[in-house]
């Protein structure tokens, strides 16, 4: 119990009071989503579906995700400005998406 009180005291000292209607700390706004060029093709092994996200010149890391005809979901690694996700051998593209981070 003493640890919880100590943590509460430290939090209050660092962040101030959080009484309703009196908080004055500003919350940083979220940056807008980066708009990237996307496309899909069937150029993978066995005509497997692929989903591409190209964010050239946006200075962000991008990760793409593809949903395939067998119900699986494949996600690429975080890559600088371009990422590609690929379905398993011979499985078709159903949908794709991407996300970015600075």
15-68 confidence digits (pLDDT tens): 443 333 444 444 333 344 799 999 999 999 999 999 999 999 999 999 999 999
Measured between alpha carbons, how far is 11 from 58 in angstroms, rounded to an integer?
A: 37
Contact (CB, 8 A) for 32 and 48: no
Q: Count of CB atoms within 10 A of residue 93's CB?
A: 20
Could you tell me the pTM of the whole model? Answer: 0.68
Measured between alpha carbons, how far is 36 from 58 in angstroms, rounded to an integer?
A: 8
């Amino acid at each position: 119990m003493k640890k919880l009180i100590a943590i509460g005291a430290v939090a209050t000292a660092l962040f101030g009071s959080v009484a309703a209607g009196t908080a004055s700390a500003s919350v940083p706004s979220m940056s807008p989503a980066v708009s990237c060029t996307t496309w899909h093709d069937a150029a993978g092994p066995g005509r497997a579906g692929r989903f591409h996200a190209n964010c050239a010149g946006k200075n962000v890391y991008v990760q793409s995700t593809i949903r395939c005809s067998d119900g699986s979901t494949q996600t690429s690694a975080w890559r600088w400005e371009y990422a590609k996700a690929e379905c398993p051998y011979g499985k078709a593209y159903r949908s794709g998406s991407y996300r970015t981070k600075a």
